[in-house]
Amino acid sequence: MASTEPFKNVLLLPQTNQLLGLFTIIRDKTTSRSDFIFYSDRIIRLLVEEGLNHLPVEKKSVDTHTNEVFEGVGFKGKICGVSIVRAGESMEQGLRDCCRSVRIGKILIQRDEETALPKLYYEKLPEDISDRFVFLLDPMLATGGSAIMATDVLIKRGVKPERIFFLNLICSKEGIDNYHSAHPDVKIVTGVIDRGLNEDRYLVPGLGDFGDRYYCI
């Protein structure tokens, strides 16, 4: 059973029956690829919207068609998405669905075969990323190695940690602890906290390899 214990700087989606139903579908190994994509996209949209809920706003007044003034708010600052290739690219459309013309950067990190450690192979980020709020996108947070390195890249480019939101569908307590030991001021927005990791460092109960199920199977 997934953990619902609170963690500092972890924004956990409300654990509703709807969300449980969505996760039941994408965890099922018999779910077709088309259904996996459809229901994963629904969860991704919820994650993006939750991240947007925590962006700063300022008061804004607008005139309505009834010649009234509505006192609302407007977002302060610009945002961009940064996906950790390749599984993170599955979350880009969900961000675009909520934010028109949003800019997207990419970071490629793979495991070094000799050291078994994550290694940075490629980055392409908006030139003004240091002035933006950043949604870092990767569906799974297991050990946290790739996410830590990707966040290191963002910080070296001048992004303040408190302006980074790391969005993922499923994470582990170990992943949260490892990630926040390196980047305690980054907010994690997640759908569920799984029981843990198995001997192969896969999330359990998990759902397998997200990238393979989304793109290949």
Closest CA to 5 of 205, 179, 176, 181: 176
Write down the residue that tokens 């001048």 correspond to: 158
Nearest-angstrom CA–CA distance, 193 and 176: 9
CB atoms within 10 A of CB 59: 8
Q: Measured between alpha carbons, how far is 200 from 148 in angstroms, rounded to an integer?
A: 20
> Which residues have a catalytic role annotated?
111, 115, 209, 212
φ/ψ (deg, to 5) at 48: -60, -45
Tokens at residue 94, please? 């969900």
Tally Cβ neighbours within 10 Å of residue 154.
25
**In this structure, are residues 87 and 140 in contact, taking their beta carbons and an 8 Å threshold?**
yes
Token pair of 159 as six digits: 């992004």
The answer to whether the Cα torsion of 74, 105, 118, 47 is positive or negative is positive
